[in-house]
Every structure is written in structure tokens, then in C-alpha cells.
Amino acid sequence: MPEKIAVIGSGVGGVAVAARLAAKGYHVDVFEQSDMPGGKMSEIRHDGYRFDTGPSLFTAPEMVDELIALCNEYDTDFQYSKLDTICRYFYEDGMVIDASGDPLQFAAELAEKAGEDPGTVLKYLDESRKIFEFTYPVFIRNSLHRARNYLTSDFIRALFRLHRLNPFISLHQLNRKYFRHPNTVQLFDRYATYNGSNPYKTPSTMRVIPHLEHNVGAFFPREGMYQIIRTLTSLCEKLDVRIHLNTRVEEIVLSRNKVSGIRVNGEMMPYDMVVSDADIWFVYRQLLKNLPFREKWFRHERSTSALVFYWGMEMESRQLDMHNILFSADYALEFRHLFELKTLQPDPTVYIFISSKVVKSDAPDGCENWFVMINVPENNGQDWDEVIAGARCRIEEKIERLLKVDVAKHRKFEFILDPRGIESRTASYRGSLYGNSSNSMWSAFRRHPNFSDINGLYFTGGSVHPGGGIPLCLSSAKIVADLIPILKK
């Protein structure tokens, strides 16, 4: 029975799978090219400010709790609270919507501000819940690429409910059927961006996401999002997992179609199995050097990337909550630019995340840490310096117009992350955040499986099944761990 496993990458999926496999009795080493664990979920500390660099919305916290319990670490100090307001939405027509985590309050807010029928809003959320409940055990918590999983009772029950998915219409088309006001449609269209997709193309099955936010709720860790990584790495340490920072894996070494180890700094290190948390494109292009490239997994449209400004603001904003969206006046044009023209339109949608609204120590007194993000296309050789300069001006103008805040006057410093930086820091092909987009009804089946035809090679993280985002990366770690038997000594 194999005993030694190497995990490449320390993103959420990587450290979660390392903890799960160590709990099964394996000797696990994690190799991370950066100087800190976390991958896209990292942090910046500067001049009294702290920024979470990546994912900012925390749903399904029970998945972290489950992992803590699995590792028998009930005393682990991981605490989080539920948000009263999930997101505050600002529109060019002056409308402001506070999206509550309570379905009744959310329905009442949409009735008051946008004239929606509360019963219709609740019906939409209830249908979202039903779809989530029958798809979750089949499509999220298990592999779609193992024939035996299609013979389970969960799959058979789901089969009789597949008509509810409406996969032949887009999310936007579905939302237009339900809601009267274009602002409400735009709010629910936004859920396509949670995995870098286009609401005018992605199938309406994406409507499951509102269930997690508005029926279950959104949460926030007591010490910020990076606390999730600190908690998972603490679990790893307690289970004797070794995390090697500043250590780049150069090759996955094979012997007759079987993993025999990895190469680091030119040295062969023997391992019985390898789990890669790196972008699947990078694995096939860079780490499996003697194998032909698996073109079939990379013919599909890529997800969007991001341009993020981290601003140390010497002010406190009364208009903003922790999560905020300043919507574009022309959403359809924005996605045409992102996916067809590979550029930015003049009026991009702006996301502003201010963790110091909840974690006061994340900024000095009287100040705030602004994480300001727009969706951008993958890196296709654009002049990013020019794009950044233009985007900054447009974002500042939009904030001035909608919030009456002079950003330049209050900004103390700025850090920037663009698709080039995302690609170089996290080995994400072209800076695409989620690998393939979900702009097709077959997208779920076109994600690379969590295993390989190479004996002993497995995959976790946002570029493989079931997809990107914290809950899905945690699910991918569970799927991989379930594929590997408990070590019998």
C-alpha cells in the first residue's frame, strides 16, 4: 500500500486534500512555489492595513467545520459570523438594494425598491433550494467521471428531477421570465460571474448559487478570509503534513504510466502518489514533460480573469457595506467585451470589498481597506499597463458619480493585481481564474476529472471538477480523498 503523497500547490483544495489524506494515515508533503500558503487566497499587510487578496465571499462554512471534525481538532479556533447584508447593489439610475441573507427581508427589499412580487422572489429562491438539494450530492460531492456514481440512489433520484434544471435556456433568459425590473434581472444575472461565466450564455442551472446566499446565508471569518487558509494549514501541521514554501515543482516523474515522484531543483524525490492543486493546463504543459498535450480538455472557452486594486483609504465610507457592487448600465455590452472582444467596455461593473467593516483591525482607525475589482478577459496579449490606467480612471469616475467619493483625495497607497500577476503567481493559464467557463450546458462534464489515466495522479482545485470557489475546491479535495483508500498499516 503506498504511503507517501506529494501535493503540488497550497490553495484551498491543496491544503484541504493534504489534511484529509494525512487523516487517512498517509505521509503528505505540500510544495508551494510562493513564500506563503493559499494560492489565490492570500493576504497583503502594509502600513497598518491588511487585505485578503482573493476570494472574499464565504458560503457553506460547514464544509470547513466538517474538515476540522474529520481531523479530530474540535478545539481549533475557527470562528465566523453570519452577515445581515450579503451585498449592497448600486445602479446608475440611483437605485440601491440591500440584499439580505434572510429570504423574507430580501423579497421585501426587492418589492419596495424594484416593484417585484415578494411571492415570485420567494418562489425563485425555493426553486433554487430544490435544485441545489438534488444536484449537490450528485454533481458537487462526487465525481462525474466514474460510471458507478451514475448507479447510486442519489443519481437516480436526481434523474427524475432533471427537467427542473432548464439547461436549454440561459440564466439571463430565466431571470427575465421571473422578474419585472431590469435591475433585479441584473442582480440575479451576476451569479454567473461567480465562476467567471457569461449570464447570457451560461445555463440557468447557475440559479443554484442564490440558495447558498439567501436561504442559507453568507458568512465571514472572525479574522478575515485568510483565516481559512491559516486554519487548514494548522490542521495540516497537527497531522504532521510538511508544507514546503518557495519550492517549485519542476516535473511529475513517471515510470511506465505510473507516478514515481516529483522533481524539485533538479532532484528526483520519490512519492507513491501526486495530487496537483495547480491549474490543469499548467500540469499538462509544464509538469508532464514527456506526454502529449491533452487538447480535448482545453478547447473550451476560458473563464474571465480579474483586475484588482488594493487601496489604503484614509476615510470611512458611510454608503458602503462590506460587499458592494456598482453595476454597469449596459451589462450585455460588458460581457460582449469580456468574451468576444477581449477588452473592457467604458463602464465596467465594480466590486468593492471592505473587510475592515467587520474586522476593525484590518485598517487603522478612521481608515478602510478597499479591495476594488472588475472582471477582465483572460490574458491574450493585451497592453495591460494601458488597460490598468484606463480602468483606474473609469472606476474612480464611477465611484465619484455613484458614491460622491473622491478616491484620489483619500487614497494613501495602491497595489495592483492583473491577469499577468495571477498567471505568474498561481500558475493559472492566461490568468483565467476558474479554468474553463460554464458558458455551455455541457460545461460540468467538460471539466477535467479529479483523477488521471496515469496511475497515482489526482487533481484538485478550481480548474477541475466541480469548479472554482471555496465550497467547490473543498468538494474537489473530498472527491480526491474518497478515491484514495485509508492506509492500512
148 with 261, same domain? no
Q: Which domain holds residue 475?
A: 4-41+58-80+223-300+443-483
Q: Classify residue 433: in a domain, yes or no.
A: no
Residue pair 368/354 in contact (Cβ under 8 Å)? The answer is: yes
Phi, psi of 125 (to 5 degrees): -65, -35
d(CA 320, CA 424): 32
For residue 310, the surrounding DSSP H or E stretch is strand 305-313
123 with 166, same domain? yes
Per-residue model confidence as pLDDT tens digits over 82-112: 999 999 999 999 999 999 999 999 999 999 9
The domain boundary, picked from 399, 426, 453, lies at 426
Query: What value, to the nearest 5°, has the Cα angle with vertex 440 and ends 137 and 469?
Result: 50
Q: Classify residue 65: in a domain, yes or no.
A: yes
Q: What pLDDT does 290 receive?
A: 80
DSSP state of 302: B
Q: Classify residue 272: in a domain, yes or no.
A: yes
Q: Classify residue 431: in a domain, yes or no.
A: no
Full-model pTM: 0.93
Query: How are beta strands 273-276 and 4-8 bridged, if at all?
Result: parallel
Q: Classify residue 94: in a domain, yes or no.
A: no
Q: Classify residue 105: in a domain, yes or no.
A: no
Q: Classify residue 90: in a domain, yes or no.
A: no
330: CATH: 3.30.519
DSSP state of 355: G
Q: Classify residue 329: in a domain, yes or no.
A: yes
238 with 342, same domain? no
Q: What pLDDT does 159 receive?
A: 59
The domain boundary, picked from 177, 197, 217, lies at 217
| C-alpha 248 chain-centroid distance | 23
Q: What pLDDT does 319 receive?
A: 96
65 CB burial (10 A radius; 0-12, 13-18, 19+): middle
In angstroms, what CA-CA distances link 344 with 200, 338, 415?
Answer: 17, 6, 20
Q: What pLDDT does 374 receive?
A: 98
115 with 200, same domain? yes
Residue pair 350/372 in contact (Cβ under 8 Å)? The answer is: yes
**Mean pLDDT, 10 residues at a time, the chain of 489 residues:** 88 97 96 96 97 94 94 84 97 97 97 98 95 78 62 59 70 96 98 93 89 94 97 95 97 95 97 96 90 72 93 97 98 97 96 98 98 96 96 98 97 98 90 81 72 94 89 94 81
262: CATH: 3.50.50.60
Report the number of distinct structural domains present in the chain: 3
Q: What pLDDT does 442 receive?
A: 58
d(CA 308, CA 326): 15
391 with 323, same domain? yes
Q: What pLDDT does 336 receive?
A: 97
309 with 421, same domain? yes
160 with 193, same domain? yes
CB contact burial 357-377 (16+ within 10 A = b; e otherwise): bebeebbbeebbbbbbbbbbb
Q: What pLDDT does 278 receive?
A: 93
Query: How are beta strands 323-326 and 305-313 bridged, if at all?
Result: unpaired
Per-residue model confidence as pLDDT tens digits over 117-155: 999 999 999 999 988 887 777 777 676 666 565 556 665
| Residue keyed to cell 458592494 | 324
